[in-house]
Amino acid sequence: MILKDSEYTIQGIPVTSLVREYGSPLFVYDASVIDRQIKRIKNAFSGFPNRINYAAKALTNKGVLAHVRGHKLGLDVVSVNELRMGLDAGFDADQILFTSNSVSFEEIEEALTLGVKVNIDSLSLLEAFGKRYGGGKPCSIRLKLDPLVEHHEGSREWHSHSKFGIHHSRIDDIKALEQEHEMNIVGLHVHNSSSFLDIPVYLETAERMFSIARQFPGLEFIDFGGGITIPFYPGHEVIDVDELGRRMEVQVQEFYKDYGNEPRIWFEPGRFLVSECGVLLTQVTVLKGDRDLPYAGTNTGFNHLIRPKMYNAYHDILNVSNPLASKKKYHITGNMCETDFLAQNREISEIREGDLLAIKNAGAYGACMASNYNSRVRPAEVLIREGKMHLVRKRETYEDLVRNQPGVDW
């Protein structure tokens, strides 16, 4: 969003006009920001063979998927429905990796019937895969690495309790299954999420992955997952992707020297690509408070953006209707029948009842994690592309809420 002449706009479109057209709450995505982030990450890793797979779970919308596909990215999916959505959005099956996580073998088989490669994260699934397909179907192995470097307490603690992947200490078991069933293992994957908070952690992980890869000749790819985030608040230190790319290039080339071929290095950014593109627009319905700070109640809540409640996540909030007013401190709350602070003790331009607020960095894990709690409907979603508004998801209605509830006559 750009503030010019007291008015916030997205690609020249006044934010207030979006709400007049589509109502509120409203998710709005700026495609030019996605374009910028894709260019950044492609440039950062241009020094070695790579593939960027968009992590569909971050923002699972066919309009957004189709836009991302136009940049010739691959796709990482974690369910068959995400997979089908990717195919509907125009991705080819060979551009998609299905990553399993506590799924049944039947779901693995369903993904394979749709023509994609699968990423297996348990020994039991790997054994079932080997018995069923042997060397007839390629697969990838999802690994869990811990502990990470000793001085990164948060990363070490997260990974020591992570459910994702086969623990690196079980490599011998993986190799035994590979040999027994003559399996065609073509990729290795590490789950890192956003707990790989800086370059030393990332580089140590890369070194360990390359060491493991030497035990699997003929790999087509080594996948480093996501884990590259964006700044959410002032002073938030995040990975410099350009420096990471330069330093990883040295490691990759050293690995290639003695490996025998050059497997592509894959990355799966989600939040990095789409978080900053999104804002959640919400209207202030009530102001109240006496001895405490004023509460600004809104017509949204954790049913639409759960991250502040679930993760205590920070999202910058702007007063679109009164941007140049002096700032005051407020608690910003939702309309859920729960304690649902969107922000506390936050300095925001003076708020009046009826004002429109913009919650920033709402592109990733916003709409895709929304619910119908309190029987409230989910918002519409609009993608701004090349200066034009595109409705990419309609606002739900009461009929949508009860559509799958059969009538009863006691």
Active site annotation includes 337: yes
Per DSSP, the residues of 343-354 read EEEEEEE---TT
3 state SS of 216: coil
Type and span of the H or E element at 210: helix 199-213
Reduced to 3 states (helix: H, G, I; strand: E, B; else coil), residue 389 is: strand
Cα dihedral sign for 132, 135, 137, 141? positive
Length of the chain: 410
Q: Is 278 helix (H, G, I), strand (E, B) or coil?
A: strand
Beta-strand ranges (E) seen in 72-124 are 74-77, 96-99, 117-120
Cβ neighbors of 302 (< 8 A, separation 6 or more) are: 308, 309, 310, 334, 336, 338, 340, 342, 373
Q: Rounded CA gap, 238 and 230, in Å?
A: 6
List, in order, residues 6 or more apart from 406 with CB less than 8 Å away. Answer: none
> CA of 237: how far to CAs of 59, 72, 199, 360, 369, in Å?
24, 29, 11, 18, 26
Tokens of 69: 């596909």
Contact predicate 329/293, CB 8 Å: yes
Whole-angstrom Cα distance, residue 316 to residue 312? 13
Whether residue 267 contacts residue 224, with contact meaning beta carbons closer than 8 Å, is answered with yes
Which residue, among 331, 353, 238, 346, has the nearest Cα to 286 in the 3D structure? Answer: 353
Options 139, 277, 337, 368, the catalytic residue: 337
C-alpha span between 36 and 69 (Å, rounded) = 15
Cα(272)–Cα(257) distance, rounded to whole angstroms? Answer: 31
Contacts for 151 with CB less than 8 Å, ≥ 6 apart: none
Distance of alpha carbon 119 from alpha carbon 142, whole angstroms: 6
Q: Which residue has the tokens 């002096």?
A: 326
Question: Among all residues, which ones are annotated catalytic?
Answer: 337
